[in-house]
Amino acid sequence: MKKFFSYSLLSLLFTFIILSCTKSTDLTPDSINSALEIRTARKLTDTQIDSIGIMHNYRLNGIMNNIDFNSLPLENQFDSILLLDGLSASFIDTFKGWWSNDPLNNYNDSTFNFYYAKIDSILAEDVINYSSFCNDLSKLETEIRVNVSDGIVLDHLLVIISVAKYSFYYWAPTIKGGSGIGYDFLGQIDKVSSSLEIRRPKWQTVMAADASGAAWGFLQFGVSAFFGPVGATSLAVGVVGSAVAGSVSGAGLLP
């Protein structure tokens, strides 16, 4: 299948788009300091969190380009394309178990659950365009940075927001301000949907699956991965892997 963009161009493109998106966050030094005074230590920097979003789109595009739309049913390729991306068989099996029994439903942190519900409501909106979507998330991010005192919970929520922003741009049609890349892939899936016996998934549904995958990945890897620089890297890799698996699942390819 023809590549839509080279990976290097994709990375530059996604970075440029998100930079324009994040400028609308209106944090003040006073508001930041008021939260920092009582916040427990964070384990990820803002740069690391942003890189998770960039790498998500980079790897997701590689995965989607590895789908053989002439080999049906497409669901049979779920394991193989994720293995090509570098995910282990045990990771894929664990992800499948999560997808059918969402552990976030039993996550007992009230602060996380409160703000995750707010993020989820933004993802569910019929947004006008990418700019308005970023504006809504940036306003919520400001609120989160000021009010969340637990550094780990803050990282968790910011990771989800980062993946959501990049995911929107990847999956949304150009008329919504997206790249149109993921939307074109969904069109390819639509062409064979009669064989798959599924309806074409809405791009916003896939975007929400991305965010859910990132949320699960943070839970899955966060507890054991928070030990120094190597731990942070492992966490980022796990979150990206689960987010792209969420994308592929949301696109209707989970067997």
Distance in angstroms (rounded) separating the CA atoms of residues 163 and 218: 12
Closest CA to 128 of 185, 172, 179: 172
Distance in angstroms (rounded) separating the CA atoms of residues 168 and 247: 11
Distance in angstroms (rounded) separating the CA atoms of residues 241 and 51: 13
SS3 state of residue 86: coil
* Percentage with pLDDT > 90 across the chain: 28
User: Domain segments of the chain: what residues?
Assistant: 7-253
Q: What is the pLDDT of residues 135-175, one digit of tens each?
A: 999 999 999 999 999 998 999 999 999 999 999 999 999 99
User: What count of other Cβ atoms lies within 10 Å of the Cβ of residue 216?
Assistant: 24
pLDDT of residue 140: 97
* Percentage with pLDDT > 70 across the chain: 72
Instruction: Quickly list H helices, the chain.
Output: 7-22, 29-36, 46-65, 78-84, 89-100, 110-124, 130-147, 151-171, 181-191, 193-196, 203-225, 228-248
Distance in angstroms (rounded) separating the CA atoms of residues 81 and 88: 11
Quote the mean pLDDT of the chain.
77
User: What count of other Cβ atoms lies within 10 Å of the Cβ of residue 139?
Assistant: 14
Close Cβ partners of 52 (under 8 Å, ≥ 6 residues apart): 159, 162, 163, 214, 236, 239, 240, 243
Q: How far is CA 106 from the centre of its chain?
A: 20
* Rg value, the chain, Cα: 18
Angstrom CA distances, 17 to 22, 128, 150, 229, stand at 9, 17, 29, 28
Close Cβ partners of 109 (under 8 Å, ≥ 6 residues apart): 150, 153
Can you tell me the mean pLDDT for 84-111? 78
Q: What is the pLDDT of residues 37-72, one digit of tens each?
A: 557 888 889 999 999 889 888 888 888 888 888 887
